[in-house]
Chains A and B, each alone.
Chain A
């Protein structure tokens, strides 16, 4: 009887330890994975585009591994909008200051970005209007 009770207690301890171990292992793995990585949700990126928060996207992008390890295929359209914005910012600066060579380089990049935008291609007009490009 006493032995059975002891066995029951140790079984309960084992189960508790197992549960704690699983929880802490999941936490440790997710913490390790989260270093330098951020999971981008399509909804989040779509929201940022809708809000014209291109600088926020820029910050997220350049603070993630995607900026140096290659973009996730699912988000290439979204990132293309952000690239278009940044290239347009530089394009306007070079264009207005007569640096035609660099301006042309950025204009080419903008064309490439726009063709990669997919369903967000219309954002190019929003960005041009924001930066007063082509007015």
Chain B
């Protein structure tokens, strides 16, 4: 380019004309423009950085909130359905371990451990009567449930310190006994019940134990038990109430 004053050749890097010594105005204008450009550039850069930062922060927060909200919904669902989930898991285990569990249940029955048998079927989910698995245990499991109910109510009476604290067990004993004998009739008559020698023997022992316990603690002998089985619901309750009263020496 040429100097505005003398027309001499000057370059952009020369602040003054090397021929006339005047200010190279184009260099000055260029320097000025560069100064503005740098400022604009710095401002734009800062703006872009700020926007990006703000945007990333917002997106990050939105993602965190979304993830937390999903986890919250899942944990509330699991909390509300915990028992269903655990129940399903127990059921799945019962199906998976059918051979092992069946062997354990047979051992309980063989050893006449009916309370343990009842607890095992309850806790290990092998009393799932609607399933094909454990079908051969169906009848004996029902009976063990009622045996447990009866036994529990009877021992409540035995351990009570007087008739007043025992009388509310009369209906529980009756429920257990009535249920047991109804199921017992089903056990021997229903076609769907699978009979095995071990299960038949266990059922016989349960029935015999109930008879012995009633005779020993409530003075209900074999004949009275037969009478009980043939009686109406009201008569059964009266009979048991008198028996429990007699256990406490005929207390009021």
Contacts and interface: CB of A to CB of B under 8 A. Distances in A.
6 tightest CB-CB pairs across the interface, nearest first?
A31-B82, A35-B86, A28-B79, A17-B68, A10-B61, A55-B155
A13 interface: yes
Nearest to A102: B112
Given A14-B68, A55-B156, A36 B123 contact: yes
A73 to B, nearest CB: 19
Interface residues of A, number: 45
B219 to A, nearest CB: 11
Contacts of A99: 212
A68 B79 contact: no
B161 to A, nearest CB: 8
A86 interface: yes
Contacts of A35: 82-83, 86-87, 90
Nearest to A88: B158
Contacts of B68: 14, 17-18, 21
B119 A24 contact: no
Contact of A68 (B65, B78, B123, B217): B123
Contacts of A13: 65
Contacts of B79: 24, 27-28, 31
B115 A62 contact: yes
Contacts of A34: 82
A39 B144 CA distance: 26
Given A35-B87, A67-B119, A68-B124, A93 B213 contact: yes
A96 B211 CA distance: 12
Nearest to A16: B68
Contacts of A21: 68, 71-72, 75
Nearest to B50: A3
9 contacts: A27-B79, A61-B119, A62-B118, A67-B119, A89-B155, A93-B213, A93-B215, A94-B212, A96-B212
Given A35-B82, A93-B209, A93-B213, A7 B61 contact: yes
Most buried by B among A13, A21, A53, A130: A21
